[in-house]
Amino acid sequence: MDRASAEIAAAAARLVVEDGLEWGAAKRRARQQLDLGLRARLPDNEELEDAVREHLALFHADTQPAELRALRRLALRWMERLQAFRPYLAGAVWHGTATRRSDVYLQLFCDDPKSAEIALIDHGVRYEPRTVPGLRGEPVEALSLHSDCPELGETIGVHLLLHDLDDLRGALRPDARGRTPRGSPEAVRWLVAQEAGA
């Protein structure tokens, strides 16, 4: 990573952790704040993740683990509610870089993606539909809602990304670092139990 890219990664990591920005937006804003111009190479997601972990270790080692535990417990509650739709946890809450400013991202793999939306309506859950990039960049529907997190004393954004059941097979391939890119309810339950015992 060149020097400019490393500076962007460090500044973007601060924006991700402190302001809760999405990674793409944080990289672009960091480049703008550093006045590096559009030609400066943005760090890739792995470089940014390393910078986020470093920022957390330096500035939030005393608070981030408890915040992460609370977010994983919140994610697990929603996964249990949505078990019929094969939920998988993704993003910062799954990878362990989440703070109280992070949202929860659940990917649902359904025979009929509309059925998850109908289930929310049946249970009186208010949500906002939108379209976001899916597993391979294709547009997918997302249902965004707010959920109370008593452990943090805050309302957290929960985003349900709706995928076809056929997409599940490819979704579990390891990422560039050999990690599972998303976790099943069983995997999240195991993490929560490990954290409780720590």
Model confidence pTM above 0.85: yes
pLDDT one-digit tens code per residue, 106-160: 999 998 888 999 999 999 999 999 999 888 888 999 999 999 999 999 999 999 9
Instruction: Dig out the tokens for 115 from the structure.
Output: 């059925």
Class of domain 64-197: alpha beta
DSSP labels, 142-166: EEEEEEEETTTTEEEEEEEEEEEGG
Q: How far apart are CA 38 and CA 32, in angstroms?
A: 8
Domain extents in the chain: 3-59, 64-197
**First-residue to last-residue Cα distance in the chain:** 35
Cβ contacts of 89-92, under 8 Å, gap ≥ 24? 89/182, 89/183, 89/187, 89/188, 90/161, 90/181, 90/182, 90/183, 92/52
pLDDT one-digit tens code per residue, 25-67: 999 999 999 998 888 899 999 999 999 999 999 999 999 999 9
For residue 123, give the nearest of 73, 185, 81, 79 by alpha carbon.
81
